Structure 1
Amino acid sequence: MLPPRFRRLLLSRAPIMRGHLIDGDGRCIHYHGPFDVVGNKCATCNEWWACHRCHEEIANHPFGKMLIDAPSSLQCGHCGELMAYGVQKCPRCGHNFNPGCSLHTPLYYEMPS
């Protein structure tokens, strides 16, 4: 298997994840456990971020929340697959995601009324 830095180069369709990244799977200085590989899209700048804290420290605007039913609001940091909210693992590469990420749903998504 290729090292993460080369794997990302091969996935030219994968958007670039922003933040204070510490590895090629999208882990950042704030969340860097084995399952912390999900990037979130900001509706304001349309960029992918490793976490809300990275966005807060780098961007010059509040994190724009996505609609909860948006088809491509999550990015797998391991393979670059784009997916919708609610998945527990990547449908492409099978990498498991941190179940604790669901606690941050209100930070990233507009909740239905």
Structure 2
Amino acid sequence: MSEKPEVYGVNVDLQTRCAHYHQDIDVIAIKHYCCGKYYPCHLCHEETAGHPVVLWPVERFTDPAVLCGVCSLQLSVNEYLKTNTCPACDALFNPGCKLHLQLYFEV
């Protein structure tokens, strides 16, 4: 298990759940391209970052951008888009998160 980067937001727990999304399967955080900080969701960024979001550009989809809140594995956007579970610990990721891709990534 690697060291977990700091995750910013509202009432963030040890597995990256927040005040807005807190089901058992809400265990990812997304590094926001604009500030390089992990947030559990777009609402946490909006409420606490103090600046507008900048979407991850397609040409940077190989950079680490998604954090597994269970084991701290950092996945690239491309890796995240190809899976519904963590490749390291098999934690299930909320499939509903992918309904909000346009809030984080150029799509």
Flag whether TM exceeds 0.5 (same fold). yes
Instruction: Name the residue aligned to 1:83.
Output: 75
Counterpart selection for 2:36 from 38, 46, 56: 46
Report the Cα distance in structure 1 between the residues aligned to 2:72 and 2:89, rounded to whole angstroms.
Answer: 9
**Which amino acid is the alignment partner of residue 94 of structure 1?**
D
Could you tell which deviates more after superposition, 79-88 or 52-61? 79-88
What residue number does 1:24 align with? 14
Q: Structure 1 residue 103 and structure 2 residue 99: aligned? A: yes
Q: CA deviation at 1:110?
A: 1.2
Which aligned runs of 4 or more in structure 1 are off by greater than 4 angstroms?
none
What TM-score do you get using the length of structure 1 for normalisation?
A: 0.82
What percent of counterpart residues are identical? 37
d(CA) in 2 for partners of 1:51, 1:16 = 14
* TM-score normalised by structure 2 residue count: 0.86
1:60 Cα deviation from its structure 2 partner: 1.0
Structure 2 residue runs without a partner (length 5+):
none
Instruction: Return the alpha-carbon distance in structure 2 between the equivalents of residues 62 and 93 of structure 1.
Output: 33
Give the letter for the 1:73 counterpart: A
Q: What amino acid is aligned across from residue 20 of structure 1 in structure 2?
A: V
Gaps of 5+ in 1: 1-9
* CA distance in structure 2 between the partners assigned to 1:25 and 1:38 by the alignment: 8
Q: CA deviation at 1:11?
A: 3.9
User: How many residues were matched structurally?
Assistant: 101
Per the TM alignment, residue 62 of structure 1 is displaced from its structure 2 partner at its CA by 1.1
Q: Retained in 2: the 8 A contact 1:41–1:66?
A: no
Deviation at residue 72 of structure 1 after TM alignment: 1.1
